[in-house]
Structure 1
Amino acid sequence: MPASGSVSPTNRSNAGLARVLRGRLGSVRFLMTASGLSFILVVNALIGYGILQGRREALDAGARATRDLARMLEAQTLRTAFSVDRMLRDLAFALDTHPDGGRRGSAAIHDHLRRSRDSFGELADLVVVGDDGFALHHSADAPLPPFPLSDRGYFTSARDRASPGLLVGAPIVSRVMPGTRVIPLSRRWTDADGRFRGVLVALVDPTRLAATLESQRIDRKGGVILALEDGTVLLQRPQDRIGLTRLADWPAVQHALANRDEATIRDDVPTLVPPAAASPGTVPGGNAVDSLISVRRVQDYPFVIVATLPVRAVLTDWRRDTAAWTAIGTVMTLAIALLTAFVVRQHARREEDQARLARASRRIRGILDSMLDAVVTFDAAGRIVTFNRSAEVMFGVPESEMTGQPIEALIPDARGGANDRDLTALRRDGHAFPVGFTVSDLRLGRTPCAAAPHPAGPDEPRIYVGVIRDMTRRKQQEAELVASKTQAELANRAKSEFLANMSHELRTPLNAIIGFAEVLDSQFFGTVNERQKSCIADIHDSGRHLLDIVNAVLDMSKLESGRFDLYEEPVEVHEAVAHCMMMVRDRAAAGGVALNNLVSGSIATLWADQRAFKQVILNLLSNAVKFTPEGGSVTIAADVDEDGGFRLSVADTGIGIPPDFLPELFQPFRQAENAANRSYEGTGLGLSISKNFIDLHGGTLTCDSTLGTGTTMTIRLPASRVADHPSKVGGRSVGSA
């Protein structure tokens, strides 16, 4: 057992290994090399993944191709079966209606059958067989066969099963056209009472049925099989590749059809095999091929379609792409390895350059530390090289954090303007303070000998020395002025907030006073005498007047603080004007002032804040009525300018406004100092609030007045506030102005 306090050889070995690992991981060269190797692994992994993904996509594309082949044969088979079925139904109708329909060897019926055959490319012959089994008519140019056809499957099936639909039989060899193999499609022929009269047979040439498929060159893509539901093969292409007699001998296809009507599987396709290895379901001469297989059962007809595509053909392009990507991966691996080696070598050179720069920096370090002022040296690119102790104290940041940083990190405007100027510097905590900044140019040249100094060359390093002095004391008075201005702005904001809060506090008791005054005036709690009613009316009027003042002050405070929000909506001008005219009608009648409304019903529809727009009109009308003597008039008119903007004017024949007061007309709490308006109540906020409301809508409010003659107030809104048609207003966005 080791003695207490001693270190075992195993622990020393582990500690040494840890130091080596830390050294390796801390080496930039090692990290660069490891990064290059990692990148090579990632690139090759991605290429490998792409190759595997490409194989899956190629197999998926092959499966889609087999389904497309099956659908193509299905579409042609359905078209042929449907057309043949319709032709046989038409033929039955023609035989029933033609007088020679039941007479054997009619020339007219023969011509009709021949024309029908020639119009249908897939047909080899059309035959009408009587109930005795002998042919009554056919479309061939040869004479009618003298032998009976009652042994044919299409005749016995139609006679015995009494099926009214289309019957499809197994391929047979035509007796009329020797050597021709045909597929019989037949229908039972009956009279009006449903008795058996014979069979109508359409003999389809399978070579013509596959003509469309062969035009698509399916021999390069795969193969197709058309069979009956009982497994009898009607058609298989290409003939020299697929060797099947019945689908029942293909277990994989039978299993797929047993589960669903459409399926895509992967299995070996029975093909030509050697004679010694021949088995049921195959043809001697070849081997099975791994293929993608699409199986479909044709709806409404007794057909089964099988489309095949060899996996080897499906993966041909993938194998070519795999070879190309393998070559690309090899080239990229070599390129990344060479690039990594080059970067590592360049980093080694950079470390040597940094060592030389450090030695040069130490030569001038003694000079910088001896300075009492803040001294910062930086290169031609503005990067800080040294940072003396006085600078550390002034800016509150150590030199190690500022080396390599731009001089603008200390003085944002260090490179602009002339030398020896006042600038603003930033301490580490973000505090800005004024400084005086003086820059001198220092050339670091080499002198071969003391007797013959050699001037610095153009490629030698250039250093700038900046001397920074704190100018806070000189800027103290300017700072005090800025503080005074800030205090005034804060006081103005406090005033606005106070007015807003007080206005809200006053509205609640004022609403209660007005409400109780209205209740007392209605004599809800008992009868009051005339003197009491007069007092109640004074209370109500005074409360309403004070509430109007409070509302005006509240709106003004919101406008000044920028917290007034517009709730924009379509506003019909004539309705808003009519509503405001109704509100001032009684006041105008009491003062003997005539009101003239020249605003038509279809003048314009505005996109505006309805309450603010009405308040502006009401303020202008109220002022016009208030300052118009008895016998005068107030006229309101509106129109759309040529540029599409809206204009509304309120003109009166009142006392007018003094010219010297017009510049202060829209200032809050200002009223013209004359004897006339002193006899009227008011706060002087109405026009100021109206002006601010119109400004918020992007418009203008102007005044044109002549003392003793009258005043015209004009509102102008931009074209964007005017709807082209009332029906389009709803489609405009809120705040579109």
Structure 2
Amino acid sequence: MPDPGSACPPPPCSTAGPARTLYSRLGSMRFLMTTSGLAFILVVNALIGYGILQGRREALDAGERATRDLARMLESQTLRTAFAVDLLLRDLSFALDTYPDGARRDSPPIRDHLRERRDSFAELADLVVVGSDGFALNHSAEAPLPTVALSDRAYFTGPRDGAGQGLFIGAAISSRVRTGTRVIPFSRRWIGNDGGFRGVLVAMVDPTRLAAPLESRDIDRKGSVALALADGTILLERPRDHREPGRLTDWPAVWHALAEHDEATLRDTVPDLGRAPGSGTDSLVSVRRVQGYPFVIVATLPVDAALAEWRRDTGAWAAIGIVMTIAIALLTAFVVRQHARREEDQARLARASRRIRGILDSMLDAVVTFDGAGRIVTLNRAAEMMFGVAECRMIGQPVEALIPGARDGASDRDLIALRRDGHAFPVGFTVSDLRLGAGPGTAAGAPPRDEPRIHVGVIRDMTRRKQQEAELIASKTQAELANRAKSEFLANMSHELRTPLNAIIGFAEVLDSEFFGAMNDRQKSCVTDIHDSGRHLLDIVNAVLDMSKLDSGRFTLCEEAVEAHEAVGQCLMMVRDRAAAAGVAIDNGVMGAAATLWVDRRAFKQVILNLLSNAVKFTPGGGRITIAAATEGNGDFVLTVADTGIGIPPEFIADLFEPFRQAENAANRRYEGTGLGLSISKNFVDLHGGTLTCRSVPGTGTAMTVRLPADRVVEGPSAMGGPCSPADLSPVSAGGSP
């Protein structure tokens, strides 16, 4: 037979080494899942970090835009105010030249005109007309004209000594009209019609009104703005800390930026101008030079204020990042754990599959599995060896290729299988369904929904068994023939032997009666021995004949109503002399009212006689035999023969009713007998549907009990008919019921 394992190509060889091990670990799904989770965490946190950095940059850019907008707003307000003040002073110069009282001191019309113009300009705190001698000629305040000379004031000396006729702006001063307030003097040279110097026109600008539009920008809480002259003198600060303003020259970074550019934005530490240069807050700074006027504007915004919302957003994004990191980590761990459990389950399934495959391959019987269409799924090694074909070549092939008719008929039957070489041989084929477990809604015994139906076939080579069966049948036939020949031989021989034995017994009786003449004692003794030996041999022949009929099932019962006490009495008469000669006493406990039985008279008496004969035979002199009979509550008839004889060994009880068997011991081998009496008695009782049982104690005695069923007990002969005639004889099986 070819080796089925060699029919399939072997799997490719695998190389082992550190590199392969590392590659397998790096390529494992668990490693990929873990790496993907970590990469996702890094990407998410990188995006959040990038967004945070981008938000910081945008926040700083927004802060820079805010400082520039603030500076531009103050620039716009300053330009508008300066332009309006310049135009106002030009108009005032023209009006003074036009009015006759323009140069007269403390002129009511001029004072009213100044007040009217002051009230129409919200930023103005006061208008002052200073004569060429430095004394005030008129002003818009309700207070009296100052009597002191103003010739030392910068707002007077500047326009007076200046060559040009433009607007002169001086440093902030304390107002003499409004005590406790500071004003910014805007002054212009007053030139008469003749071109001579007539004085100075001064507009006192209220810086609080100048910075009023800035209050809505939350300067006090977020940043600051300052208005300074071109020489660095600070005119206005918001918010104001109630101290004398410093100079921009004390802020090197701003001063250098103004020296290079008219507009710049930078980041620097704001100094405490005028008190502690170099100490302050890290801020965003925007500086602008006002075109056409000697103004410089500086707007600042603390970096902390610019980044306040960014920090709040950063905290929120950081919390989101932490939450997402934890969530992704937990999800990754969960997925990895689930995959690990799945790998463990798959490993367990693989081990179980290998174990099951090993079990199948270790089975001596061939096992084949096939689907509902009859296509082969698996073969075990025994099947490969049985059919001489490899599993891989049979997968997908119809199962009929191995066993024709495998899917027809019953699931457990004998079929003819075909080997690979075409040789046919008998097999036993048993098919069962492979149940993989039922799902919800699946009927009991049915395969789960969406699951292919799989059948498992167990194949057993029946060649040797068929040969053994044939041999057994032949042996049985021969045994039956031999038994039939034996029975026929025994029956024929019994009949042939009974005829001369009857003649011998008859002639012995004739000689014993001295019909042909007197005999001496020796002759009479010989005749008696001839008669007894013939009678004994006839009993043996009758027993063998009865046993032969019982074995062949041809013994027929001639049933009739029999009085139990009569049958017992007749049997006792047959054994009484023998018992008396052996010195054994017999107690008859069977009375006339014991029972009437529907039995075969000869068979029933034969049973009682055999039991009494055995009791007399195996009871020593001085012993006692007791015979009793009774009808039990359920109607059964029970007859017991008990003796005080030698008893039966326990190891012989099981073979007590076998024919030609006697207990093998020295105590009873001296007794004659064939060993057929109890066997014949047992068969007779069985034919009547009863039982024969034995209780015995060696050295104490034996009790034999005959039990007949209740349907054998009758009221009298008329209850079930008279004695049987030859026409009534019919075979009765070993079950023994009438």
Which structure's relative contact order is higher, taking Cα pairs within 8 Å and 6+ residues apart? 2
**TM-score (ref. length: structure 2):** 0.46
Larger radius of gyration: 2
TM-score by length of 1: 0.46
